[in-house]
Each structure stands twice: as C-alpha cells, then as structure tokens.
C-alpha cells in the first residue's frame, strides 16, 4: 500500500534531473496505482509539482509526518502539524490546479475515471489530541466537498520513537470522529495481519477479497482477545499502510506472517525486467531474508548467510548464491535468472 516516493516539491518543479531520477515508472502494461508523496510547504509549489507528476501517478500525498530535524527546520513534515491552515490551502490549491489541467478530482465520483487523481495527507498526532481534531477539521473542510480523498494517520507524536507502540486509543477517537467523513488509513505497527494491536472488520476475509486463505482468520483475532489485553475495535478504519514490516515481508498483505521464498523469487524476476542499483538489491534481500517485524521470527537465511550474501560483489554471484541456498534449503526452483539476462 505504501508505494510512495517522497521528494521536495521544489526539486521536482525546478530540477528535471530530480524528476527523472526520483520518479521512474514502468511503461510495460498497466501498472498498480502509485501515489507520489511530497514534502512541501507552499500551496503553489505543491500544486505545480502535482500537475507535473499527475500523468504518471494515481495521486499525490502531502507528508505532514516526517519528524527529522532538517525537515522540521524547513517547515516540512511534522512541522506542518502546527500549520493547519497552510496544509488546507496546499490541498485546495493542488486540487484546483489538477482540476484545471483536466484531471478528475471528484474523490469517490472519480475512482473509476482513468483521469481521476487523489489528493491526500499523512499526519502524526499531537500530545493534546484536541489539536489533531482541529487540524483534521480544518484540512477536511466542508463535508459535502471535502478537500482530501483520504487521510493516513501515524498515531505517534513527532517526539515518539518508533519503538514505542502506536497510540491505539488516539486512533480510535480519531476514526470514531472522522471515519464517516473521510477514509482513514493507519500507518504504524502493521507488522502482520494477525498481530495487529486492535480488531477491525477490515480483517474479516469476507470484507477483504484480496486477502488469501493464508490471511488473518477470525481464530487469529479471537486468540488476541484475552481478558488481560482486550483489544479495541476500530470499525471505522478504512485501510492499512506498512513501512518497516513490508520491507522485510512484501507478502504481508497476502496474509503471510513471515517472508516466503516465493517473494524473493518474485523480486528477483522483476529485477530482470526493471533493474535496480546492486546495493539496493542487496539491501532489499537482506531485509527479506532476516527475521521480520511480527511475532514469527523465522528467517529465510541465518546471519552468517546474510553476511555472505552481502559480500557478493555482482549480480551473477548473487544469483548463484541464492540458487545454492534455495537448493540447500529446499526452497523451490532455481531462479533461472542467468537464462533471462
Ligand atoms: C525506510 C523508511 C522510509 C520512510 N519514508 C517515509 C516517507 O517517505 N514518507 C512518510 O510519510 N513516511 C515515511 N516513513 C514512515 C512510515 O511511513 C511510517 O509512518 C512509520 O515507519 C511507521 O510505520 P511502520 O510501523 O509500518 O514502520 C518511512 C519509514 C521507513 C522505515
């Protein structure tokens, strides 16, 4: 779900090299929807950057969550949580520019329109949740014509480290108050579908046709509902976004609680068609072959094996290494990648 690429709006508008290097799309057949996320603090800049990427993306998102000090010092990311009128003006201007360029910005009305483009915002929460409620109220605008298509909430404050569990109570209050007005997505601690720190109708396979039989079952949810830790139910949550866990297990939304070898194979075969820099390939593979973020700590490769993988210096050696490990461990077929490249 989190197929985003964050870039400063200024870079995108002013620098063609930044545009080309940071936004690369496949022209090979229909592509999955991609949302381009910007760090921005000026309505016209965000609006212009959005019109430049609109031909190549399904929507644009504004990052109001990045806590890094350099970003906040430039009034980007989480610093925008103190600038709700500015954020409102940025999304209004962006929708207006997109509309003028002929894109469909009618939210639900344009979901199936090939020219439909979304405008959304990703936020953190404040220590005083009333400030977050004011922020959302301002950014949403009128209920008959709200300013954004959806809202992603990362229920931690700017100061909360990501090792601290998300604030589920805050998420419950916000989804209860705003979940009927705008689709709300959660970003944070989505580690596996059967270890979420809340219950939700989203996890009912009957409501989520894309989840497979390996998905969460009611059994799994029931198991977590112990008297010691009653889980909150979030009936108005509309979607989930994962960052750290999906790096380690890209099959998370297919219902796997640890990365299957098949995901490694799929990644490698995609690489044959759409190459990535070698170091990036190694980084993704070492995430995928290590223990994931959820309770299942099975790893596809041991630490020494991952180190050996990282010591490969080229793609051919890496493919040989993975083939050998797959054979050793009985992980399915060889990649046959050398036959492709
Ligand atoms: C490697 C990495 C890159 C991230 N990049 C972005 C980003 O560009 N924009 C953003 O809004 N959040 C970004 N985040 C934050 C995540 O979207 C997310 O809010 C946070 O990691 C908590 O979710 P998680 O528990 O699923 O990791 C990033 C996180 C990680 C680990």
**Residue 23's CATH number:** 3.20.20.70
Same domain, 166 and 272: no
Quick one: 169 and 309 in the same domain?
Answer: no
Residue from 70, 72, 187, 198 whose mutation best tests the ligand 1 pocket (most atoms within 8 A of CB): 187
Domain boundary among 140, 168, 189: 189
* CB of 156 shorter than 6 A to ligand 1: no
Q: Compute, in angstroms, the gap from residue 2 CA to the centroid of ligand 1.
A: 9
Residue nearest to atom 8 of ligand 1 (CA): 6
pLDDT at 10: 64
- Judge if 272 and 183 occupy the same domain: no
Query: Which ligand 1 atom sits nearest the alpha carbon of residue 154?
Result: 19
CB 300 within 8 A of CB 267: no
Contact between 37 and 58 under an 8 Å Cβ cutoff? The reply is no
Query: For residue 219, is pLDDT > 50?
Result: no
pLDDT in tens, 119-149: 999 999 999 999 999 999 999 999 999 999 9
Structure tokens at 223: 């198991």
Domain boundary among 189, 210, 230: 189
The H or E element containing residue 270 is helix 261-273
Q: How confident is the model at residue 268 (pLDDT cuts 50, 70, 90)?
A: very high
185 and 265 co-located in one domain: no
Is residue 71 classed as helix, strand or coil in its secondary structure?
A: helix
Asked if residue 270 and residue 169 are part of one domain, the reply reads no
Q: Which of 151, 215, 139 is nearest to 184 (CA)?
A: 151
248 in any annotated domain: no
DSSP sequence for 122-188:
EEE--SSHHHHHHHHHHHH--GGG-S-SEEEEE-S-TT--TTSPP-HHHHHHHHHHHTTTS-EEEES
201 vs 332: CA distance, rounded Å: 35
Cα-to-centroid distance, 123 and ligand 1 (Å): 11
CA of 294 to the centre of ligand 1 (A): 16
Give the closest residue to 87 by CA, choosing from 33, 141, 49: 141
Q: What sections of 23-125 are H helices per DSSP?
A: 43-53, 69-73, 84-100
Q: Are residues 277 and 137 in the same domain?
A: no
Same-domain status, 18 and 162: yes
Cβ–Cβ contacts within 10 Å for residue 263, how many? Answer: 19
The C-alpha atoms of residue 338 and residue 341 are separated, in whole angstroms, by 5
- Position 333 scores a pLDDT of 56
Is residue 206 one of the residues assigned to a domain?
no
* Cβ of 187 less than 6 Å from ligand 1: yes
Name the residue with the closest Cα to ligand 1, atom 21: 243
284 lines ligand 1 (CB under 6 A): no
Looking at 24-38, 66-80, 322-336, which range is the least confident one? 322-336
Number of domains in the chain: 2
pLDDT at 82: 98
- Determine, yes or no, domain membership for 293: yes
In a domain, 24, yes or no: yes
**66 Cα: distance to centroid of ligand 1 (angstroms):** 8
Torsion over CA: 201, 204, 207, 212 (sign): positive
β-pairing, 59-64 vs 239-241, is unpaired
pLDDT at residue 207 above 90? no
C-alpha dihedral over 285, 289, 294, 297, to 10 degrees?
-170
pLDDT score of 273: 84
pLDDT of residue 337: 45
The whole-number average pLDDT for the span 276-291 is 97
The parent domain of residue 29 ranges over 6-189
């Amino acid at each position: 779900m989190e197929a985003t690429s964050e870039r400063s709006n200024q870079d995108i508008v002013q620098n063609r090299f930044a545009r080309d290097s940071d936004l690369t799309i496949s022209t090979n057949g229909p592509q999955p929807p991609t949302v381009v996320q910007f760090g921005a603090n000026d309505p016209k800049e965000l609006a212009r950057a959005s019109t430049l990427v609109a031909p190549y993306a399904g929507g644009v998102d504004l990052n109001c969550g990045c806590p890094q000090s350099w970003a906040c010092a430039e009034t980007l990311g989480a610093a925008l949580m103190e600038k709700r009128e500015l954020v409102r003006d940025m999304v209004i201007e962006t929708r207006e520019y997109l509309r003028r360029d002929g894109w469909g910005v009618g939210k639900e009305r344009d979901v199936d329109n090939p020219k439909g483009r979304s405008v959304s915002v990703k936020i953190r929460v404040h220590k005083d949740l009333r400030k977050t409620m004011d922020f959302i109220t301002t950014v949403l605008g009128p209920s008959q014509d709200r300013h954004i298509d959806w809202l992603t909430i990362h229920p931690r404050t700017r100061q909360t480290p990501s090792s601290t569990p998300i604030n589920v109570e805050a998420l419950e209050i916000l989804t209860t108050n705003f979940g009927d007005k705008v689709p709300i997505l959660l970003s944070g601690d989505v580690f596996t579908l059967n270890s979420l720190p809340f219950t939700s109708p989203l996890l009912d396979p009957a409501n989520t046709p894309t989840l497979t039989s390996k998905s969460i079952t009611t059994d799994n949810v029931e198991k977590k509902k112990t008297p010691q830790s009653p889980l909150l139910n979030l009936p108005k949550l509309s979607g989930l976004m994962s960052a750290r866990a999906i790096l380690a297990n890209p099959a998370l939304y297919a219902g796997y609680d640890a990365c299957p070898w098949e995901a490694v194979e799929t990644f490698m075969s995609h690489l044959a068609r759409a190459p990535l820099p070698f170091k990036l390939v190694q980084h993704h593979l070492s995430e995928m072959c290590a223990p994931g973020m959820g309770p299942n700590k099975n790893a596809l490769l041991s630490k020494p094996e991952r180190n050996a993988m990282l010591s490969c210096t080229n793609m051919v050696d890496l493919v040989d290494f993975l083939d050998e490990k797959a054979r050793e461990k009985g992980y399915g077929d060889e990649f046959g990648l050398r036959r492709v490249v």
